[in-house]
Amino acid sequence: MANGTKQQGQDPIKEIIKKLHFSYKFYTRSYPDITHLDETSARAHFANTGIHEKRFCSIYHFFLEKKPEYAGSISIKKFRKHNKVPKHISPLKTCELILSHLSYGCSSKWDATLFRSPTKRSTIGKHGQIHPWAAQFNSPDLKVLEIGSRCVSSQAHWKRFFPDVQYTGIDIIEGENVDLVADAHKLSEYFEKDTFDLVISFAVFEHLAMPWIVAEEVSKILKVGGHVAIETHFSYSEHELPWHFFQFNSTALECMFNEALGFEVIDSGLDSPIVGRFADSAAPHLRGKLVGDLYCHSSIIAQKNKPYTSQQFSWREALPTVVKNTMYPRNTGFSRNWTSPTNT
């Protein structure tokens, strides 16, 4: 009689465990105090203690409570693989990471797990931190050109960082801080060869129809020994349409300011990390997936170390100096773990 009563009393709990898709690995790896339990003991612990302490026993259980519309549709294994989540992060913490980004991309302490690839990061040219480097050019003997100098926000007024230099600001539109209305694709028509010691441009190159032509024009008007500092976007929403043409990673900027044009790269890379995910309106197999290694800004600082000669320069002939001895990665897809082939 006693056994029958006990069995009858356990049935509802067993049913709950079944409905919650109890996972031994999820449960024991999520709570440090029960990692030593075997599967039978873990089930008993959840039935007697875990339920009352509101512990989660599976990814299904977690999302059933937190975001029911995703219950049963998310795989921790696939999520870990796609987003490079470290193995030491527990299943429960992984669920919290997933939830934090499903919930309108809210900031999370687990964001750092999305930025673990060998993506090149800028150092000198970090967004909003280039001013100490640029300060060395604040001299009455130096000439500075800013491409896209029109003030469109309070942060865009770069002239204030060069109060003593011979500063010239150009823009395609008249406005505050614009000394000359000019097309950046034709710089050499406005300025003499080897005129400037520094050329800067911020949040402009994405709006240039043919930015590689502007890079060549910069080489023409920049002195040997002079510098160029460019910041643009790698990942950002479209704006100022239809004059928004390109997004750049640091490699793209290095391709334009290349050795054949006389440039030596001092610093380049990406900055301003972004946490992105696919929305519910995306294809079913993409919904909710995070996009790792996403950055807003891309920048380059380069020095011109030899004269520009139009007779010797060709974009086609410059290609070997851009790609060097590399080739397209054999393991295509999202993987970036590739090495350059050895010359034979």
Q: What is the pLDDT of residues 63-117, one digit of tens each?
A: 999 888 778 877 777 777 766 778 888 999 988 888 876 655 555 555 666 666 6
* pTM as predicted: 0.67
Distances (CA, A) of 283 to 100, 275, 278, 280, 287: 21, 19, 9, 8, 6
Q: Collect all residues with Cβ–Cβ distance below 8 Å to 114 and sequence separation of at least 6.
A: 83, 84, 273, 275, 290, 292, 293, 294
E strand intervals along the chain: 143-147, 166-171, 180-181, 196-202, 222-233, 263-277, 290-304
Residue range 159-181: average pLDDT? Answer: 90
Query: Given this model, what pLDDT does residue 158 score?
Result: 76
In 123-242, which residue ranges form alpha helices assigned H by DSSP? 131-134, 187-190, 211-221
Predicted pLDDT of residue 56: 95
Write the Ramachandran bin of 303: left for phi over 0, alpha for psi from -120 to 50, otherwise beta.
Answer: beta
The CA distance from 344 to 337, in Å, is: 22
d(CA 99, CA 26) in angstroms, rounded, equals 16
Domain 131-323 sits in CATH at 3.40.50.150
Residue of 118, 116, 119, 121 lying closest to 267 (CA atoms): 121
Residue range(s) in the chain whose domain bears CATH number 3.40.50.150: 131-323
Q: Which band of pLDDT confidence, cut at 50, 70 and 90, is reported for residue 4?
A: very low
d(CA 208, CA 212): 9
